[in-house]
Amino acid sequence: MLRLWVWPFLIFASALVSGVATAKPAPARIVAVGDLHGDYDAWEAIARGAGVVDAKGKWAGGSTVLVQMGDVVDRGPDSLKIIHQLMRLQREARSKGGQVIALVGNHEAMNMTRDLRYVHPGEYLAFTDRDSEARRSRIYEANKTAIEAAYRSRDPKMTAEAIRAAWIKETPLGMLEHQSAWGPEGEVGKWVIGNPAVAKVGDSLFVHGGISAKYATMSLGDINLAVATALKRRDETPASIINDGAGPLWYRGLVTREPGDEATVAPVPAGAAAPLTIDQEIDLVLTHFGVKRIVVGHTPSLQGIISNPGGTLWRTDSAISRAYNGKLTYLEIVGDQATSHEVTRPAGKPWG
């Protein structure tokens, strides 16, 4: 995809928001829901099953703290519908003494940095309006010279008609509106920037991917500030905290260690001769943040929600979306007790 010529008119700046997202005092009940990937029907079934929304989709959780673990988007068609409901629930829960925390996942960061590999066609369609086709044509004409030059740099023999047809194919209706909304000053982009990457609620730490030894010496506020800053800048550099395999949005090393997978390669702590084991790294994070358990998404498990033997690491990504057809689950934490729950998947056909 020719990003350079699709996006030149989408230049944004944003006021930085970086909440630590710590609920004080510890709530009586916490509900954590894993990666949703555009499946609104699954999300609705889970939210109702957990008692945090009523039949009309309004907040019914009272003082419950709901944590959505990130990766609302991509792979399914109804991401925007889920996002809009989470936005509304954040307001409604606050007025009822509860809280809704929506974590930043790696797929939210990908959408903000224009990595659209996993965007479902239905996600673009959700952003269309009656002016979308005319808007796309206007943008093409405004950037025609640059677009033609870009295509001909790859194939000098391309005609103007062929170039326009290729660009239209690579720019489906709704894509331009989608990326405008996902810009730092767009409706969705501002919301994502204002959400935390890591949240401490009571004696539990919530993060989409995981906290590696590389970031385990930072405070919650510093991690969230770094993520928000990178999102605001749409930072595409590999070393950025939002792209780093050892960073909080991508790291799987608290779950597994796989040779060749940079997101599972544990960094060597300063002054150490070798990486920590999984158990040692979990203990490091627990001690640094003063918590009893770490709750993550990102690494799917078709078995449902699972924990390590000591109950210090809980995995909530149960492949909820119909893109994976896993189990519909949520994790409930009441006092010192963490319990996984499963609800029935609503009837529906797999997506194309």
Nearest 5°: the CA angle 194, 102, 210 is 100
* Residue at 2 is within a domain: no
Please state whether beta strands 293-296 and 313-315 pair in parallel, antiparallel, or not at all (unpaired). Answer: parallel
Among 172, 196, 230, the domain boundary falls at 172
pLDDT for the residue numbered 272: 86
Same domain, 151 and 118: no
Same domain, 139 and 270: no
Same domain, 321 and 198: yes
Same domain, 166 and 275: no
Same domain, 236 and 287: yes
| Residue 85's CATH number | 3.60.21.10
Residue 87 near residue 195 (C-beta atoms within 8 A): no
Q: What's the structural domain count of the chain?
A: 2
* Residue at 105 is within a domain: yes
* Residue at 145 is within a domain: yes
* Residue at 12 is within a domain: no
Token digits for 233? 């800048």
* Residue at 5 is within a domain: no
* Residue at 3 is within a domain: no
pLDDT for the residue numbered 290: 97
Same domain, 316 and 232: yes
Among 172, 203, 232, the domain boundary falls at 172
Q: Over its length of 352 residues, how does the chain's per-residue pLDDT go in tens digits?
A: 444 334 333 322 233 344 456 556 789 999 999 999 999 999 999 999 999 999 999 999 999 999 999 999 999 999 999 999 999 999 999 999 999 999 999 999 999 999 999 999 999 999 999 999 999 999 999 999 999 999 999 999 999 999 999 999 999 999 999 999 999 999 999 999 999 999 999 999 999 999 999 999 999 999 999 999 999 999 999 999 999 999 999 999 999 999 888 899 999 888 888 999 999 999 999 999 999 999 999 999 999 999 999 999 999 999 999 999 999 999 999 999 999 999 999 997 767 6
pLDDT for the residue numbered 6: 43
pLDDT for the residue numbered 5: 39
Tokens 């009656």, residue located? 130
Same domain, 158 and 109: no
Range of the domain at 146: 129-172
pLDDT for the residue numbered 214: 96
Same domain, 248 and 282: yes
Same domain, 290 and 149: no
pLDDT for the residue numbered 24: 62
Same domain, 161 and 133: yes
Same domain, 287 and 334: yes
Write a three-state SS string for the chain.
Answer: CCHHHHCCCCCCCCCCCCCCCCECCCCCCEEEECCCCCCHHHHHHHHHHCCCECCCCCECCCCCEEEECCCCCCCCCCHHHHHHHHHHHHHHHHHCCCEEEECCCHHHHHHHCCCCCCCCHHHHHCCCCCCHHHHHHHHHHHCHHHHHHHHHHHCCCCCHHHHHHHHHHHCCCCHHHHHHHCCCCCHHHHHHHHCCCEEEECCEEEECCCCCCCCCCCCHHHHHHHHHHHHHHCCCCCCCCCCCCCCCCCCCCCCCCCCCCHHHCCCCCCCCCCCCCHHHHHHHHHHHHCCCEEEECCCCCCCCCEECCCCCEEECCCCCCCCCCCCEEEEEEECCEEEEEEECCCCCCCCC
Distance (Å, rounded) from C-alpha 201 to C-alpha 198?
10
Same domain, 152 and 103: no
